[in-house]
Amino acid sequence: MHELSIAMSIVEMAQEEAELRGNVQIQAVHLRLGLLSGVVKDALLSSYEMACETTALEGSRLIIEEIPVEIYCSNCEAQRPVHSIQYFCCAECGTPSAKVTRGKELEVFALEIRE
């Protein structure tokens, strides 16, 4: 369970951004979370609340957009969704591929602020 330390990094990062913008109030943090990031959405959501306590972000929301896993399919010669996280092959033609092109994201994408 490393979601708490991830949540604390998110809060820290958001606070820095708020300061850079003249101590704006942050209402929500938008996060892109890849299904292969190794971070569990629900655990992160509850950790976020804890991490926000007694900080300027207390009461803010964490909005998570889950990013599906995509691979490069050599048969389709294109980026394709993976069949499933247990089965790394092209969802369209079934060609196996270990070239992950999407789904490892752990990124603060945007902030909802009030000036």
Partner 1 sequence: MSPEPRMVEVRKNVLKQNDVIARSLRERFRNEGILAVSLVSSPGSGKTTFLERTLTLLRPPYRVAALVGDLATENDAQRLARSGAPVKQITTGTLCHLEASMIQKALDGWDTGKLDFLFVENVGNLVCPSSYDLGEDLRLVLLSVTEGEDKPLKYPTIFNSADVAVITKMDLAPAVDFNERALDRNIEAVRPGMQILKLSAKTGEGMQEVLDYLHKLQRLRPQAASMS
Q: Does the protein bind partner 1 through residue 13 (CB under 8 A)?
A: yes
What pairing do the DSSP bridges indicate for beta strands 78-84 and 25-34? unpaired
**To the nearest 10°, the Cα dihedral for 71, 73, 78, 84?**
-40
Chain residues 43-102 in contact with partner 1, contact rule CB under 8 A: 85-89, 96-98, 100
Q: How far is the CB of 95 from partner 1 (least distance, A)?
A: 9
CB 107, CB 31: distance < 8 Å = yes
- Give contact residues for partner 1 (rule: CB under 8 A): 1-2, 5-6, 9-10, 13, 17, 21, 27-28, 30-31, 36-39, 85-89, 96-98, 100, 106-115
